Structure 1
Amino acid sequence: MASFTSLLSTILLLSFLCFTPSPVSASNKVSVSLYYEALCPYCSDFIVNNLAKIFQNGLISIVDLSLVPFGNAVVTSDGSIICQHGKGECLLNAIEACAIRVWPDVQQHFPFIQCVEKSVEAREENGWRSCFQATGLSSEPIVNCYNSGYGQQLELQYAKETNSLQPPRQFVPWVLVNGQPLYEDYEKFEHYICKAYNGVLPKVCKGQRLTISEQTRANNGDKVCRPGKNLT
């Protein structure tokens, strides 16, 4: 009887192991890249009100998310950076670049960046400083990163990455899913993620269909920051 019980327990254990879903491996995740600049109002809106949703609905579990805060900035011949919306944008781009480097886990740096962009939406010039307390993260490594000039170096690296995109970036927010730009359809990024994923789809994907009309494309075309146009 004892041996039968032991055998039954083994069978149940093996069944549990066989049918328990395993975590999504990094190689199976959908790559999503966002090229943006801190003071573009459409970038702020996308980060705060669209991109943040994937952390709430579980879609982040199948996504490898990369944020690149440089946007439409220009690097001059002497290596300095001119940002589309002025020095304040250069500051925040570098601060967010430092956050990404100091806290490489997207689950850590995204809440901070979302908080910064919320302060941008609220037009609070120094509101980003309160984001350390709001997220429970230390300000010291970020301040050191920026004051040491390392944030500038990170921005120069992001400049090379942004300017080498093929096809070239046309505006921001510039969203890529598995390396393919979504152009004006960037707000539909969740649909593209679900379409690109090869594994068992999360609940949020079920029942969704990718239907994008020409009218949607036309409307979204107005919600971008294009190079050479200062929107401040």
Structure 2
Amino acid sequence: MHYLKNAATYLPLICCIESASAGLAGAQGCLQVHAVPVSWDTILSCANGDQGNELMHHNSQMTNELEPSHHYVPWILINGEHSEGLQHHAENDLFDLVCNIYTGSPPVLCDWRDDI
């Protein structure tokens, strides 16, 4: 996310990496599948170095400052709101949730739902 900046670029990559069954090799393959402009070495260097620690610390600080405060992890906020319904939907089908609540013209990535 830090290097790619754009959610339309990093969300499909994250979904791919999270669902990769072949561990790190599968995660590496996701970079090729999604043709992202960042190398695997850059990702590993960030994850295992000072920059990764700094980014995680920053995320930790943001988590501690959540309103409403979190009661468990993951504690998902959608547009600053938390509910058990949103939490459940996000944990089970985040992509569908984002496409359903997106305001404005939905991203092209949401078009796949019309084919089902």
What TM-score, normalized to structure 1? Answer: 0.35
Gaps of 5+ in 2: 91-96, 111-116
**RMSD of aligned residue pairs (Cα, Å):** 2.9
The answer to whether 1:133 aligns with 2:32 is yes
Bigger-Rg structure (1/2): 1
CA contact (8 A) 1:112 1:132 kept: yes
- Does residue 116 of structure 1 match 2:35? no
Name the counterpart of 2:93. Answer: none
Task: Give yes or no for contact 1:116–1:131 (8 Å, CA) kept in 2.
Answer: yes
Partner residue of 1:149 out of 30, 38, 50: 50
- Aligned residues with identical type, % of pairs: 27
CA distance in 1 between counterparts of 2:98 and 2:13 reads: 22
Equivalent AA in structure 1 for residue 23 of structure 2: E
Q: 1:150 to 1:175 in 2, by over 3 A?
A: same
**Equivalent position of 2:62 in the other structure:** 161
Q: Which structure has the higher relative contact order (CA within 8 Å, separation 6+)?
A: 1
Aligned to 1:95: none
Q: 1:112 to 1:183 in 2, by over 3 A?
A: same
What amino acid does structure 1 have at the position aligned with 2:57?
L
Spell out, residue by residue over 1:7-48, the C-alpha distance to the aligned partner (whole angstroms, 9 max, x if none): xxxxxxxxxxxxxxxxxxxxxxxxxxxxxxxxxxxxxxxxxx
Q: TM-score normalized by structure 2?
A: 0.64
- Name the counterpart of 2:7: 106
Structure 2 CA distance for aligned equivalents of residues 133 and 110 of structure 1: 15
Separation (CA, whole Å) in 2 of partners of 1:113 and 1:191: 16
Is the contact made by 1:177 and 1:193 (CA closer than 8 Å) also made in structure 2? no
TM-superposed CA distance for 1:103, in Å, is: 0.5
Match of 1:193 in 2: 101
After superposition, the Cα gap between the structure-2 partners of 1:135 and 1:180, relative to the gap in structure 1 and judged at 3 Å, is same
Give the Cα–Cα distance (whole angstroms) in 2 for the partners of residues 167 and 105 of structure 1.
Answer: 26
Unaligned runs of 5+ in 1: 1-99, 205-232
Q: Which runs of 4+ in 1 moved over 6 A?
A: none
How many angstroms does 1:101 deviate by?
Answer: 0.5
1:146 partner letter: A
Aligned residues: 97
| Residues 185 and 107 of structure 1: CA distance in aligned 2, closer, same or farther (over 3 Å) | closer
